[in-house]
Structure 1
Amino acid sequence: MLWQPLNLTDVCPTPTPIAACSYFGYLYLNLLVKLYGDSRDRKRRREEREGREYDFIVVGAGTAGCVVASRLTEIEDWKVLLLEAGPEQPDVTLVPGLSTALIGSNIDWKYSTEPNGRSCLARPGQRCDWPRGKTMGGSSSINSMAYIRGNRLDYDEWAALGNEGWSYEDVLPYFKKSENNFNIERLNRKYHGIHGPQSVARFPFIDAPSIMITEAFNEGGLPILDYNGKEQQGTMQAQAVSEDGERVSTNNAFIAPIRDKRKNLVVKTDSEVVKILFDEHKRAYGVKYVRHGKEHTATATKEVIVSGGAINSPKLLLLSGIGPRKQLEHFNIPVLADLHVGENLHDHVTYNGIVVALPNKTSTEVSNAEIVRHVIEYKKMKIKEGPLSGNGPVNSVSFIKTDPHLPAPDVQYQCDNTNWMEYVREPIAVEKLAIFPTSFYNAVIPRTMLLTPKSRGRLVLNPKDPNGKPLMQPNYFGDERDLIPIIKGTRFLINLENTYAFKSRGAQFVKIPLEGCKHLKWGTDEYIKCLAMSYTSTPFHPVGTCKMGPDYDSTAVVDPRLRVYGVSGLRVIDASIMPVVPRGNTNAPSIMVGERGVALVIEDWLHNYHKH
């Protein structure tokens, strides 16, 4: 089997009453492996043709990389090699309700942050986990699937920084180009596409607590609207990268449909690129990669395109001699270009710990036998429906301005599900052990997320092993001003307890202080601040480590056409180029970066290419 789940023996505390650590937890994961551990792609793929020379090499078959490889191979004369460090995308990723079971498995890079004394304080070693997808589709295969683009202001800000061609009006056609929206009858066609390969739809199953959350925010003053349209401040059940009750990663959307048809595309999984190769003129001409323990070389006559994401792209550049001179010389890596690679690392910051308990009439909890039944029945369905065709309360998303004078929202809310009795006792362990379907729960954790972080961190090579996991310091709350919107946003959230939506369903906040903040009174500003700093969490939106900027920006790594400064034949096309993180989930913006970036590549090589 391709998929290997989280090892419960390694993670479960002993002794513990947590259900995931029971005998049933082991049986359940074994059942998932048996039913969903293989891959449709592995079963049906053709034998990849061997070759050593290509026109383009795309490093990383993640969210953006799959878009890039697909669009490049539309030009029949171009031969493209797509290299992915992870395996084929296992079938377990397709089930929306099993999204949290993917974290910590073998298709997760299992990264973690470095401590900074201001965040993740209650977590082991004061480190936050940073899941990243290590499979075809990358993080689009393991994330929570919300399709949210950010705010028009985000892209206008990119352009104002000197990045010509990246304003909202410039990028909107590329959002629409990839999109195949299945709910278009309720949306403004000015902002949405229906002819692209990327399926976007609401899940067919939305449960009662999810509706409760949306209704409560609506009562709190937020309009129900499409926040991918004209305005963003509002609430609704977010659309997802899904179709007919299944996840649609960029692998499913852009690569799987063409993989057996286009002879000019070669895909190699389990192939980790360890170095970009340059000639004496500093032109990238190929890559060195490791597959099944053996080193290989492939060459590109046109370009090498790095799409490894905000962590692996800067790591690869550093290993190849592109980055801060002082750091590279420390590792005896010859310096090709002295650039700020790994700097400007930032992420939306959020936290866990505010819990809404649901009474029996509202809870969606079921017996172990019912969980097994739903898991088996979903597998048998031709058209997917029922609880596992949704993602619990996760797509209950809202945006607010914590100050009415702000030009755009600065806080987003997105929910997790849990068993509140277990969570209050052992919050850290319960978060790590979220193996059961998101569809079944007796509590909701609405997470207040900062959209406009001022804190900036950095990524560096690991001094013990530069080829190993890099050291990542997002520096959450390094700028203390980042706590202010978090506190204001949480106050707004707590007031929702007075809404009819909550009261009519018997929903109440669990006002028991968590262990790391038990010396403070629940609900006070000091308690909220303590929760944010102690139970800090990532929404999985790291960006900025190969920053895009004009030639007069000394901190830029790539130019507005995504070409790496100081060398030739090399581009970076993924979330790492984002100079500032958009106000929202980064999956849809990363798809757009893939579309916009590859259009620039094609434009540079085929001057008559119609980019829209």
Structure 2
Amino acid sequence: MAPVSGAAHDYVVVGGGGAGCVVARRLAERGASVLLLEAGPDDVGREDVADAGAWPAMLGGELDWGVSYAPSPRTAGRRIPLPRGRVLGGSSSTNAMLWYRGHPSDYDGWGVPGWGWADVAPCLERAERVLRIERPRDPHPVATALVDAVEAAGRQGWDGFAELAELTAAAEDDGAGGVRSRRWSTSRAYLRELPPLEDVSGSGSLTVLTGSPALRLEMRDGRASGVVHLLDGQPVTAGVRSGGEVVLCAGAVETPRLLLASGIGDPADLARLGVPVVSALGGVGRNLQDHPLLEGVTLRMPEPRGRTRDNGGGAVWNWRSGKPRSDAPDLHCFVTQAACATPAVAEAHGLDRSDPHLVGLGVGLMGSRSRGHLVVRDVAPGGAVDIHPQLLADPADRAALLQGLRDVIDLADGPVFTALGAQRLTPRPAAHPGLDSCSDTDLEEFMSLACTTFFHACGTAAMGRDDDERAVLDAQLRVRGVDGLRVADASAFPTVPTANTLAAVVTLAERAADLLVPWAVRR
């Protein structure tokens, strides 16, 4: 896999993350010559990556791009970190290891030909034969308590609350279930655990180059002809052979940055950045979506919580708010084997987040409607960017999340957690911290301090139908107005799925490889 400077390839895949590792491997095993460029280091031999429970310590560290959401009055003027993996495997090497398919209506709702549930389900099933999806073997007591509490609530008549039989179906149905323990990233699964390419009949070649950020695309006669990237700190060009393509898999922030650096985007944005227009696409950097998360409901246990198990959580719960929003469960709760509180919540409620007695329940909205945008200030890799997700901008989002918070408080105060000796510390009425009950006003104030992100940013280079002028991509993931260029990552989502996004990202990458197969097979 040693790089050859200046060599031409059938495909250059930019970004060796959750999508890029999948696309690169699938194209190479089907006969193509592929170069995979990753800005960050290799993940091999890193125990912080391999240990699923170590992921919180990586946030904001050397394997993180270090971007954040801009302050907003709806989130108490706080700057909210948006961790993105800067390492081979991308965020699949640094995330919390939650795998959900999403609801069939997520994909059908995209309204893009070839991307309905019937189209993507085979790709998802293929991915699940490569990635290992499993439950914890020895869950933490607080994880078991969440599953038991939801099950007990179901017996008391709460609609749709039941333990899940299959984890991979967790976002398709209401219910609670566990999560896996040891990390199985896309880099491990697709680049190291699948049979070596030399053992695959008819395969091509795959060159993986880490520590090599892409600077921009080279264009020739309206076609992407290569990628300018750094090699040992010096810019070089990786060319694309005639008939080949560049595939951007750099994520919801870096993919639009690369498009703008290459002259693809809103003409006003390009003029501000001093980049000539190659293709005027106003949707680049728009349509930003994420799932708002509340950190959250913090409980104090009578005894120290003990060693961290699995991914630091161990159980989740999906359910419907009852609002007329969609067919899919739109609310989500997960366990934390630590305090579940933002610094702002901890300060307001006098919490010591390092207290070993604290555990928590995070509350999230998976059916969010709010839409934001990003503004690239510097087209250099990792350069300045203002990201405005507009979390909680839609009143329906606030109403549903408020209901979700109340539902989780009810579980936390219920008999299962009470039997563990758990005492809820947050949320409490700010003016009367000794009281148990909170008014809507109390909880709305709490939400502004507790709101953060699931790290599910997407939609910033969205695909759409041919008649959708806002779409950056067509149904084949091709960038409009440019030949030989596609996007295959979360930025291509028209709307965010009602689930943790890795499964949808890997599914999209598998589908992208299928779209490129006819050319690869003819070689």
**Length-normalised TM-score, structure 2:** 0.89
Query: CA 1:603 to 1:234, structure 2 compared with 1: closer, same or farther past 3 Å?
Result: same
- CA positional deviation for 1:471: 1.4
| Matching of residue 303 in structure 1 with residue 239 in structure 2 | no
CA contact (8 A) 1:227 1:234 kept: no
- CA positional deviation for 1:157: 0.5
**Aligned equivalents of 2:79, 2:17: Cα separation in 1:** 25
Aligned to 1:323: 265
Instruction: State the secondary structure of the residue aligned to 1:343.
Output: coil
| Matching of residue 105 in structure 1 with residue 61 in structure 2 | yes
Question: What whole-Å deviation, never above 9, does each CA across 1:100-139 have from its counterpart, x for those lacking one?
Answer: 11111100111101123212x2xxx621000000000000
- CA positional deviation for 1:548: 0.8
Aligned to 2:300: 357
CA contact (8 A) 2:101 2:170 kept: no
**Aligned equivalents of 1:466, 1:58: Cα separation in 2:** 16
Instruction: State the secondary structure of the residue aligned to 1:213.
Output: helix
| Matching of residue 224 in structure 1 with residue 157 in structure 2 | no
CA contact (8 A) 2:296 2:426 kept: no
Letter of the aligned partner of 2:189 in structure 1? A
Listed as ranges, the matches of 1:20-419 within 5 Å are: 47-50=2-5, 52-76=7-31, 78-89=32-43, 90-119=46-75, 121=76, 126-158=78-110, 161=111, 163-179=112-128, 196-221=129-154, 222-225=161-164, 226=166, 228-229=168-169, 232-240=172-180, 245-257=181-193, 261-262=197-198, 264-279=205-220, 281-301=221-241, 302-339=244-281, 340-360=283-303, 363-365=304-306, 388=309, 390-392=310-312, 394-403=313-322, 407-419=327-339
Query: CA 1:430 to 1:342, structure 2 compared with 1: closer, same or farther past 3 Å?
Result: farther
Query: CA 1:314 to 1:238, structure 2 compared with 1: closer, same or farther past 3 Å?
Result: farther
Letter of the aligned partner of 1:312 in structure 2? E
Instruction: State the secondary structure of the residue aligned to 1:606.
Output: helix
Question: What whole-Å deviation, never above 9, does each CA across 1:326-358 have from its counterpart, x for those lacking one?
Answer: 110122211111111010001011121321222
- CA positional deviation for 1:200: 1.4
Listed as ranges, the matches of 1:463-482 within 5 Å are: 468-482=383-397
Listed as ranges, the matches of 1:585-604 within 5 Å are: 585-604=500-519
Aligned to 1:447: 362
- CA positional deviation for 1:545: 0.4
**Aligned equivalents of 1:214, 1:415: Cα separation in 2:** 10
- CA positional deviation for 1:364: 2.2
- CA positional deviation for 1:425: 4.7
**Aligned equivalents of 2:431, 2:383: Cα separation in 1:** 32
**Aligned equivalents of 1:215, 1:287: Cα separation in 2:** 52
287-296 vs 587-596, greater mean Cα deviation: 287-296
- CA positional deviation for 1:586: 0.3
CA contact (8 A) 1:460 1:472 kept: yes
CA contact (8 A) 1:520 1:527 kept: no
Aligned to 1:187: none
Question: What whole-Å deviation, never above 9, does each CA across 1:563-593 have from its counterpart, x for those lacking one?
Answer: 0001100000011100010111001111101
CA contact (8 A) 2:249 2:487 kept: yes
**Aligned equivalents of 2:316, 2:483: Cα separation in 1:** 42
CA contact (8 A) 2:296 2:340 kept: no
**Aligned equivalents of 1:498, 1:357: Cα separation in 2:** 12
Letter of the aligned partner of 2:254 in structure 1? N
CA contact (8 A) 1:130 1:538 kept: yes
**Aligned equivalents of 2:214, 2:413: Cα separation in 1:** 54
CA contact (8 A) 2:375 2:385 kept: yes
**Aligned equivalents of 2:483, 2:223: Cα separation in 1:** 5
CA contact (8 A) 2:463 2:472 kept: yes
**Aligned equivalents of 2:350, 2:118: Cα separation in 1:** 45
Instruction: State the secondary structure of the residue aligned to 1:206.
Output: coil
Query: CA 1:462 to 1:520, structure 2 compared with 1: closer, same or farther past 3 Å?
Result: farther
Q: Which 5+ residue runs of structure 2 have no aligned equivalent?
A: 155-160, 199-203
Instruction: State the secondary structure of the residue aligned to 1:176.
Output: helix
Letter of the aligned partner of 1:343 in structure 2? R
**Aligned equivalents of 1:420, 1:408: Cα separation in 2:** 26
**Aligned equivalents of 2:473, 2:518: Cα separation in 1:** 17
**Length-normalised TM-score, structure 1:** 0.77
Percent sequence identity over aligned pairs: 32
CA contact (8 A) 1:516 1:534 kept: no
Listed as ranges, the matches of 1:422-433 within 5 Å are: 425-426=346-347
Instruction: State the secondary structure of the residue aligned to 1:598.
Output: helix
Aligned to 1:8: none
CA contact (8 A) 2:273 2:377 kept: no
Query: CA 1:138 to 1:427, structure 2 compared with 1: closer, same or farther past 3 Å?
Result: farther
What is the number of residues matched between the two proteins? 504
**Aligned equivalents of 1:285, 1:421: Cα separation in 2:** 48
